[in-house]
């Protein structure tokens, strides 16, 4: 089980990044399904980050908004609350047609993504 590999200190560190009760509720308490949901989330978030980088390079506010919206929903569903909050800010900024701080927000999302990924893969 993935939680057996993650120590208490690591879970404590991730508590700021992740709402574990949300994930457990979504998975119905099924640890194998939790692991599957996390794996899918990590892969989808990775793809979203790549799409956001491409959209920022072309200053495509509409694509930034759409991808940020999808990332926000996926993050909120699995309990990645910090990523969801930043994605909401990115979505709202892009909706207003502003892309000047999009790269910084995507970098912040990337940092939180890496924290989650590195803690879960140890």
HSE-up of 1 (CA within 13 Å, CB side)? Answer: 9
Nearest to 45 by CA among 11, 84, 18, 17: 84
Please state which of the ranges 17-26, 38-47, 61-70 shows the lowest mean pLDDT: 17-26
pLDDT at 19 over 60: yes
Q: Which domains does the chain have, with CATH numbers?
A: 2-120 (1.20.120.160)
Residues whose CB falls within 8 Å of the CB of residue 51, separated by 6 or more in sequence, listed in order: 63, 67
pTM of the predicted protein model: 0.84
Is 28 strand, coil or helix?
A: coil
pLDDT digits 0-9 by tens, 74-87:
999 999 999 999 99
**Cα–Cα distance between 46 and 96 in angstroms, integer?**
25
Q: Identify the burial level of 21 via C-beta atoms within 10 angstroms of its C-beta, where 0-12 means exposed, 13-18 middle and 19 or more buried.
A: exposed
Do 106 and 56 form a contact (C-beta atoms < 8 A)? yes
What is the pLDDT at residue 15? 57
pLDDT average, residue stretch 66-95? 97
pLDDT at 114 over 90: yes
Residue 8: Cβ within 10 Å count: 7
């Amino acid at each position: 089980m993935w939680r057996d590999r993650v120590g208490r200190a690591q879970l404590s560190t991730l508590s700021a990044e992740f709402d574990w009760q949300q994930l457990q509720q979504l998975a119905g308490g099924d640890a194998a399904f939790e692991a599957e949901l996390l794996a899918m989330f990590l892969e989808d978030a990775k793809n979203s980050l790549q799409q956001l980088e491409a959209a920022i390079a072309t200053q495509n506010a509409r694509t930034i908004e759409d991808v940020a919206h999808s990332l926000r929903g996926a993050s909120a569903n699995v309990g990645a609350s910090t990523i969801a909050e930043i994605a909401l800010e990115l979505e709202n900024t892009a909706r207003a047609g502003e892309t000047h701080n999009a790269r910084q927000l995507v970098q912040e999302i990337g940092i939180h993504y890496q924290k989650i990924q590195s803690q879960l893969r140890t």
